[in-house]
């Protein structure tokens, strides 16, 4: 699959390589015969045991190199590119998946979101310009669509009324990236991901949290009445789409979503069925920064990238529960 989309033998820089999505993208590129330089600062946004587990999978590949570095430091970013240039193996592309993610946490500490999501992106753009890297793929979010726009959300909608500092930093990075495309002809692909889930997922997100808590007989917090919906998208579909975005495209923004929104209450039932236990639900008022629903229009990714999601929600949850059961001895201890 990946062999059709990228030529093997290239070297890619992946930031956020120990992260949920970054580690899967790295794994797919390595499996296709490429080299990957991974950078991650092991941000304490959630339990780093998950990052260690993901890194262990990547370190099985001899063509994987890892640096525990922070992309918000411009000298660090310059050093990564310089080292690669000195070895005569410039990056075929940069895939920026490092970020402070998470809507609610961004309200508590917006500054850290600005330094990684905006300054970090700026440092990578400067390095692409200075070291002649021609391609940058970078992650944005469905949170940009905020509330009140007609669904399914199409990329051309006016996204200026975001509900959280997280979404605002992602919008800033999108706009900044355009200026670098315009000024320096860097080819830039931006992906607005829709609620990504799967094995070794993020413990601050619903699927991991509910799988763990239901498995261990702990209550699950449900904000609102359960009628919110999310366009849950399986991590392998996201990683495959991200890799398809490595081809020259100019400057394009793509939604990557499943186009199959699932009600929160239905998602809970599917998790219960796969775990084999009933959930104990604790209800809380809906958080104002949480959007009521997300739904991706994915026609652009289908037509320009030849991408479509392949893993239905039931199958993806089955895989995530399977991963949890295999790693339960430590995954049950992760703070959710
Ligand atoms: N998971 C989702 O549902 C989702 C949805 C929309 C957008 N996104 C975006 O996709 C990208 C990847 O998200 P994820 O779900 O894999 O999150 P993640 O938190 O698992 O991965 C991000 C990684 O970046 C690292 N990082 C943070 N700050 C850094 C810094 N300054 N320098 C170097 N590394 C740093 C973290 O340690 C982490 O391992 C992010 O840009 C996120 O905003 C994710």
Q: DSSP labels for 169-210?
A: HHHHHHHHHHHHHHHH--EEEEEEE--EE-TT--TTSHHHHH
Alpha carbon distance 60, 80 (integer Å)? 22
**The predicted structure's pLDDT at residue 7:** 66
Per-residue pLDDT of 255-277, as tens digits, reads 999 999 999 999 999 999 999 99
* Protein residues with CB under 6 Å of any ligand 1 atom: 15-16, 18-22, 39-43, 45, 51, 70-72, 97-101, 116, 120, 139, 141, 193, 195-196, 202
Given a contact cutoff of 8 angstroms between Cβ atoms, the answer to whether 16 and 45 are in contact is no
CA of 276 to the centre of ligand 1 (A): 31
Range scoring the smallest mean pLDDT among 5-9, 14-18, 100-104, 245-249:
5-9
- Indicate yes or no: pTM above 0.95: yes
CA distances from 281 to 88, 210, 291, 294 (A): 56, 10, 20, 23
| 27, 43, 159, 164: residue to mutate for ligand 1 pocket, most atoms within 8 A of CB | 43
Given a contact cutoff of 8 angstroms between Cβ atoms, the answer to whether 214 and 269 are in contact is no
Both tokens of 126, joined, read: 């400067």
| 99, 113, 232: residue to mutate for ligand 1 pocket, most atoms within 8 A of CB | 99
Task: Give the DSSP H/E element, type plus range, for residue 37.
Answer: strand 35-39
Range scoring the smallest mean pLDDT among 22-36, 111-125, 232-246, 280-294:
280-294
**The predicted structure's pLDDT at residue 1:** 43
Residues whose CB falls within 8 Å of the CB of residue 184, separated by 6 or more in sequence, listed in order: 128, 129
**Averaged pLDDT, 126-132:** 97
Per-residue pLDDT of 239-253, as tens digits, reads 999 999 999 999 999
Domains of the chain listed by start with CATH number? 2-196+233-257+296-311 (3.40.50.720)
Given a contact cutoff of 8 angstroms between Cβ atoms, the answer to whether 49 and 42 are in contact is no
pLDDT beyond 50 at 29: yes
Range scoring the smallest mean pLDDT among 56-60, 260-264, 285-289:
285-289
CA of 22 to the centre of ligand 1 (A): 7
Burial category of 95 from C-beta neighbours within 10 Å (exposed 0-12, middle 13-18, buried 19 and up):
buried
Q: Is the bond into 152 cis (omega within 30 degrees of 0)?
A: yes
Report percent pLDDT > 70 for the chain: 98
**Averaged pLDDT, 27-49:** 97
């Amino acid at each position: 699959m990946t062999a059709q989309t990228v030529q093997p033998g290239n070297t890619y820089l992946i930031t956020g390589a120990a992260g949920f999505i970054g580690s899967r993208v790295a794994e797919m590129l390595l499996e296709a015969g490429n080299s990957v330089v991974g950078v991650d600062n092991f941000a304490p946004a959630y339990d780093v045991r998950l990052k260690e587990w993901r890194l262990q999978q990547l370190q099985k590949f001899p063509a994987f190199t890892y640096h525990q570095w922070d992309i918000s430091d411009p000298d660090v970013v310059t050093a990564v590119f310089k080292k690669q240039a000195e070895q005569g193996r410039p990056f075929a592309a940069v895939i920026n998946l490092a970020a402070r993610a998470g809507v609610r946490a961004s309200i508590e500490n917006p500054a850290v979101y600005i330094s990684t999501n905006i300054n970090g992106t700026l440092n990578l753009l400067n390095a692409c310009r200075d070291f002649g890297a021609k391609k940058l793929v970078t992650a944005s979010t469905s949170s940009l669509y905020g509330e009140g726009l007609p669904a399914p959300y199409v990329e051309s909608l006016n996204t200026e009324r975001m509900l959280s500092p997280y979404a605002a930093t992602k919008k800033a990075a999108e706009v900044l990236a355009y200026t670098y495309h315009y000024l320096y002809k860097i080819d830039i692909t931006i992906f607005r991901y829709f609620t990504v889930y799967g094995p070794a997922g993020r413990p601050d997100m619903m699927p991991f949290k509910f799988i763990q808590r239901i498995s261990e007989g702990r209550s699950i917090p449900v904000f609102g009445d359960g009628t919110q919906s999310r366009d849950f998208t399986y991590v392998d579909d996201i990683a495959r789409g991200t890799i398809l975005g490595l081809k020259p495209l100019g400057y394009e923004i793509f939604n990557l979503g499943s186009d199959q929104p699932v009600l929160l209450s239905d998602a809970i039932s599917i998790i219960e069925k796969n775990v084999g236990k009933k959930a104990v639900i604790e209800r809380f008022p809906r958080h104002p920064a949480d959007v009521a629903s997300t739904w991706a229009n994915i026609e652009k990714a289908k037509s320009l990238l030849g991408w479509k999601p392949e893993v239905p929600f039931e199958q993806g949850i089955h895989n995530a529960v399977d991963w949890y059961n295999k790693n339960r001895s430590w995954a049950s201890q992760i703070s959710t």
